Chain A
């Protein structure tokens, strides 16, 4: 059980929305993390540059956060084999489905894309079923 934090989560969401807004208004690009990370070594040099710069910002963000406040708790209950399996599924799945929580869930839904709505409902439902199975059925 984790604490209900509607205000922090809303503020975090507004910042994510601001980031997606900057990306589309200034660069004309979708702030979709799986697309950006998955294509870091693909495409034209200019594309690799903006993707690299965005990824660097993402990676360094906890260091900036730490200048202001200590990092919040990070509790990972999955063991190493589960992390390996989950990583493979997330990496392969997001590329096959052309997006993740950011590309489909935030940017796609903001564009009122039905395709992204289908993807978002599908990955949410699957994740809910997997959590239900691992927490309530298989234990």
Chain B
């Protein structure tokens, strides 16, 4: 359990550092990435490319195994259904992302940047998540 938590902790650290270096923690940059008809800044496309270039091989490796290196079962989503929940959820998420320029990871990382605004965003994000679990239950 201790090893599992340690790996998870370092993965969180590396993920956060990646978001900061990549430019994802600056909402102005995120909005400039989404502003394809204005002064478009395509940088964040490279974040996705870099991330997928590495994790593609890891997921291919993991899909062949039933247990992870630390002996836990490999839990990859098995849902393939494209339903209204998936699309409606993505529309709502996209609307919020385009409104403020924060998605969940960068908003969490931004909490200790020394500004009050990420706290407002994350507090209502948690409220939105809580509301979902009240309406639809767990998972």
Contact = CB atoms under 8 A, between A and B. Distances in A.
Q: Is the interface of A mostly helix, strand, loop or mixed?
A: helix
Contacts of B98: 126-131, 134
Nearest to B24: A12
B46 A19 contact: no
A96 B132 contact: yes
A85 B121 CA distance: 8
Contact of B94 (A3, A29, A84, A127): A127
Which of B21, B67, B75 has the most CB atoms of chain A within a 10 A radius of its CB? B21
A19 B15 contact: yes
A85 B107 CA distance: 14
A130 B23 contact: no
Q: Is the interface of B mostly helix, strand, loop or mixed?
A: helix
B31 to A, nearest CB: 6
Contacts of A52: 5
A123 B93 contact: yes
B50 A12 contact: yes
Contact of A106 (B52, B67, B108): B52
A95 B129 contact: yes
A26 B29 CA distance: 33
Nearest to B97: A127
B41 A86 contact: no
A38 B127 CA distance: 10
A93 B90 contact: yes
B129 A91 contact: yes
Interface of A: 1-31, 33-34, 37-39, 42-43, 46, 49-65, 71-78, 80, 82-98, 100-102, 104-111, 113-115, 118-120, 122-132, 134-136
8 A-B pairs with least C-beta separation: A97-B89, A12-B22, A13-B50, A57-B12, A91-B128, A61-B16, A17-B54, A126-B94
